[in-house]
Structure 1
């Protein structure tokens, strides 16, 4: 199946949001809070001529999707880019073409395609700086065999999710990473 077919198979942003059973309010909080800056809108203006579209491999339970998807939607709107959402767990055939480090089905993955369905750029699952933040938090966890590992890991993920929802600096970090990919 070519990428145009995957795009056509995907859900519109409205369909995806309406189908969400987890993290919907949290994602919408970021969507409402994040706005593309005037300077970034100016940078995105030349992108409109490329008529790119985005396929988003995602799931509503994913904390990284909670952060990244609403920022992509705002950037896509500013760039005149249509977006379609494809659920990872129901579409492993596509997901397995975009493994992180060749092994991980990490999401979200944003596949940017031209009008003919050719892959133009790929982004995800995290901005480099966000990956470093996650890695630092994980490095401070006790050994996996420790009795409090599970508890500490869950606390880390809750802290990250909270910062994802409230820290506009994190939002801009993600936006900058997406802009760097799109404006190569």
Structure 2
């Protein structure tokens, strides 16, 4: 499948960031403070990846963590990126399901011809372990207590995601590994 047409439909980083609302402060905290290790920059610039498509949404907490790290990484590598809001691009999203669900973000790495070189997402293993440990005691979705449990998870996750620089680097390493 040639993904160049999808890339052309996407939002630029500036357009995506302009649409941020509730998670803007957290996103910008990560974006402004995450630093790509200097020792990695030359290797990043030599990657075969020539473009990246992101399937994400501005309201997604995991996107708040992962997308600013990706943006900073691609800036250092001089690799263009475009964001496609998942809910408006289900035809593409449905080709990148996780456990048959539309979980985001998903990063699609492309070559010059628009061929997929690889993907990443929806989260680094360390983040998945954190999420699973937090959610293991969640009540079923039908339970009236579910909403409160989810809100607590979202609040705690947002705190950790915006302050845990070790976690940022774990996410970064996992993304860079997927670009190989």
TM normalised by structure 1 equals 0.91
| Alignment partner, residue 172 of structure 2 | 175
CA distance in 2, matches of 1:160, 1:90: 26
User: What's the secondary structure of 1:86's corresponding residue?
Assistant: strand
Contact 2:23–2:58 (8 Å) recurs in 1: yes
Structure-1 residue corresponding to 2:56: 58
**Paired position in structure 2 for 1:123:** 120
In the TM superposition, what is the alpha-carbon distance from 1:128 to its structure 2 partner?
1.0
Q: Does 1:20 align with 2:20?
A: yes
After superposition, the C-alpha distances for 1:70-124 in whole angstroms (9 at most, x for unaligned) are 00001111211100010110110110011112x1100110001011000001000
Q: Do the aligned partners of 2:49 and 2:109 also contact (CA within 8 Å) in 1?
A: no
How many residues get paired?
Answer: 180
Q: Report if the CA contact (8 A) 2:49-2:117 is conserved.
A: no
- Which structure 1 segments of 5+ residues have no match? none
CA-based RMSD: 1.7
Question: How many angstroms apart in 2 are the aligned matches of 1:120 and 1:42?
Answer: 20
Separation (CA, whole Å) in 2 of partners of 1:143 and 1:131: 19
TM-score normalised over the length of structure 2:
0.93
- 1:67 match: 65
Task: Tell me the equivalent position of 1:111.
Answer: 108
Structural mapping, 1:37-48, within 5 Å: 37-47=37-47
Against the structure 1 CA distance between its residues 87 and 149, is the aligned structure 2 distance closer, same or farther, given a 3 Å change threshold?
closer
User: Which range moved further: 90-99 or 153-162?
Assistant: 153-162
Q: What is the distance in 1 between the residues matched to 2:144 and 2:49?
A: 52
User: Per-residue CA shift, 1:153-174, capped at 9, x if unaligned?
Assistant: 3112210111001110110010
Distance in 2 between residues matched to 1:156 and 1:93, nearest whole Å: 30
- Farther-moved stretch of structure 1 (36-45 vs 110-119): 36-45
Deviation string, structure 1 residues 107-158 (Cα, Å, up to 9, x no partner): 1100010110000010001001110110011113345566544322311221
